[in-house]
Structure 1
């Protein structure tokens, strides 16, 4: 998904890296976080998360864990494909109640049957496109477009319930807190809106673009910014709790497990940050390559797995940052991995979709399609759905 990249793009982002220039010498805020994640005032029933039958958010859940609750067959087979003539997808689908939702770069949003790939509806929006992945909450589908507009659509019909205008492109996928939906924008603000009406509750500004999806833990949000900081935001107040210098811009969506936040940067450095102390716990610098991370990590208690533009999938120890394994691919990895039991699934720019052993990195399964993957897998009901930059959505599972 494109929210994991602070970069220019030939189609839309010629000025992206200029706005994401490195800001060095930044000073860490001395504000430490007193709130514990398990003491948050949000009831678990209010927070969308992946289940065996659903994948409602870009990375599956509010913490951006990239971990599926559903299983997949040992050797997934292609069940269907849905082709959009002349289309292109950067987004990751969402899956809820047996329906797949996704927007494309040509300004259309699709709803498809998960079991068959049959189109339920499509809605076309003029002179725009969708890079950000959609998110589902209740009866509404939320997503932002390249013109800076945030939409709430009726899930049953695709009809617009409300819109909200920001001042620049929205690459950020939505996340949720209480009865609010959160969007980041290239205009450098994180917006908190009422889910029912789109009314602005507050907005929080940083020093440069926001391209990542805001990760939510309790009443805190985490933003990995193009201003070379990790920001920790109080969601009750819409104010800063702390920021941590990371020495380079990034648009990667941070993954959170326990006290740690994980993400990589445009400088090719991968971080583990303790969010409760607002300090870097460890970082990994690959001296052999300075290729950026534009893949968001997947994390469990025992591993954190991420793809890189250096044509590798890497696994790190969450506690120490020590590399557990590395798997070489033939092309860059911008797609974000998803952990499914003892396997991790990830797509590459050459159209290869891999399944690797979580503990060893050994290849277990592979398939290849025409086009490449920037978007990531969505997994529900023992099916994997992923879309290509050539306008095709694929579904894999058991025939």
Structure 2
């Protein structure tokens, strides 16, 4: 081997060693710059759950109701599970288990592949709330105003927390800088509660002027929810203090969604609003007739989709607030749509589950149950699950 050849080889090796050293130093610096808050606080909504789970109402803490992926043009029924009462609760799906409440006063755990029951737990009243599943615990509320924490594997009660009136919206959650988990629940007693997930005790509460019907949305700083006092409430997660409020002019029964620093929510006067969490200014109002928005919006980077009391599913441009399309069903759409890639899935009080094209609103599939669908769909690993007022839980693929 000549001198020139050896020199070239040693030069190349030196460059490689330098590159590895620099990369390692920079990687260490990037990791050391992460604060505890960045590691432990809830972040903004992500479009897809890498584990293929749907752990709470509308899929994530920000309640955007959007997941990547695609569905076939025609879904096929996989199974039906019969409960003892109507199912207004929206399902959660975690580790191939469906969790859903019923007016039969039970929460049911069902194998998502087979539809076979795994366990059920009798609670103190009917269940309309959507379960939230995190850290192997199921959190769910009842019309008696009780928030339960149950073991996700067995249904065993870990603790329960009592409010002064019924719980109808799903609960949400966040972690503090010490990685402690806290549960957020709004009640018809007009109070939003923050409950320690370990002890089942309230650590703070925020009082509003009227019922809280929907589920609170969470980003990295705030808990955001609407109330029957017509106000969008923006609350600091750390101490439960008011960060801001936005008067919508009509009471709010729906749940909020957060995306890109904005909140999206509908009210009872047929207005869907987009408002800034930073300035508390309303960016736009999308108005239909006086029919209420009970449905909660699904939100992507460019599009908002929501069901209306006017029997339509509405698709709105996220920047302009202008309609892109509407699709008319045969009754009110109080179920909250979900967006799966280029598909929209939504139930209607006409008893049908619809799948539409996100691009133009054309219907490509529907399934008739015969009874109202006010439950909102959950989507995980290509499975679509929803409840129905006929007492059934339906799974499609």
By the TM > 0.5 criterion, same fold? yes
Distance verdict in 2 for CA 1:204–1:45, change over 3 Å: closer
Report the equivalent of 1:78.
77
- What CA deviation, in whole Å up to 9, does each residue of 1:248-289 have, x standing for no partner? 001211111102211111011111111111111111222xx2
1:106 and 2:104 aligned = yes
Q: Secondary structure at the match of 2:130?
A: coil
- What CA deviation, in whole Å up to 9, does each residue of 1:127-168 have, x standing for no partner? x11110000001100011101110000111111100001110
Report the equivalent of 2:209.
207
1:39 is displaced (CA, Å) by 9.7
RMSD across aligned positions (CA): 1.8
Greater Cα radius of gyration, structure 1 or 2: 2
Q: Secondary structure at the match of 1:43?
A: helix
Distance verdict in 2 for CA 1:131–1:312, change over 3 Å: same
CA distance in 1: counterparts of 2:201 and 2:40, whole angstroms: 24
The alignment covers a number of residue pairs equal to 356
- What CA deviation, in whole Å up to 9, does each residue of 1:179-227 have, x standing for no partner? 1011110111111111122121100111111111110010201011110
Report the equivalent of 2:191.
189
Q: Secondary structure at the match of 2:37?
A: coil
Q: Secondary structure at the match of 1:106?
A: coil
1:41 and 2:37 aligned = yes
Report the equivalent of 1:34.
none
- What CA deviation, in whole Å up to 9, does each residue of 1:83-138 have, x standing for no partner? 124x1111100000110001111211100000000000011124x11110000001
Q: Secondary structure at the match of 1:41?
A: helix
CA distance in 1: counterparts of 2:41 and 2:367, whole angstroms: 37
Report the equivalent of 1:275.
277
1:240 is displaced (CA, Å) by 0.2
- What CA deviation, in whole Å up to 9, does each residue of 1:38-77 have, x standing for no partner? 9992537967974452100111000010012454333110
Q: Say which structure, 1 or 2, has more relative contact order (CA 8 Å, 6+ apart).
A: 1
1:372 is displaced (CA, Å) by 1.4
Distance verdict in 2 for CA 1:198–1:156, change over 3 Å: same
TM-score (norm 2): 0.87
CA distance in 2: counterparts of 1:139 and 1:55, whole angstroms: 14
Distance verdict in 2 for CA 1:116–1:257, change over 3 Å: same
1:90 and 2:88 aligned = yes
Report the equivalent of 1:284.
286
Report the equivalent of 1:347.
347
Q: Secondary structure at the match of 1:59?
A: helix
CA distance in 2: counterparts of 1:262 and 1:269, whole angstroms: 11
Q: Matches of residues 313-352 of structure 1 in structure 2 within 5 Å? A: 313-352=313-352
Report the equivalent of 2:117.
119
CA distance in 1: counterparts of 2:384 and 2:148, whole angstroms: 26
Unmatched runs of 5 consecutive residues or more in structure 1: 1-37
Q: Is the 8 A contact 1:52 1:71 kept in 2?
A: no
Unmatched runs of 5 consecutive residues or more in structure 2: 1-33, 176-180
Distance verdict in 2 for CA 1:208–1:45, change over 3 Å: closer
Q: Is the 8 A contact 1:149 1:165 kept in 2?
A: yes
CA distance in 2: counterparts of 1:305 and 1:94, whole angstroms: 20
Which is helix-richer, 1 or 2? Answer: 2
Q: Is the 8 A contact 1:70 1:379 kept in 2?
A: no
CA distance in 2: counterparts of 1:39 and 1:66, whole angstroms: 29
CA distance in 1: counterparts of 2:269 and 2:369, whole angstroms: 30
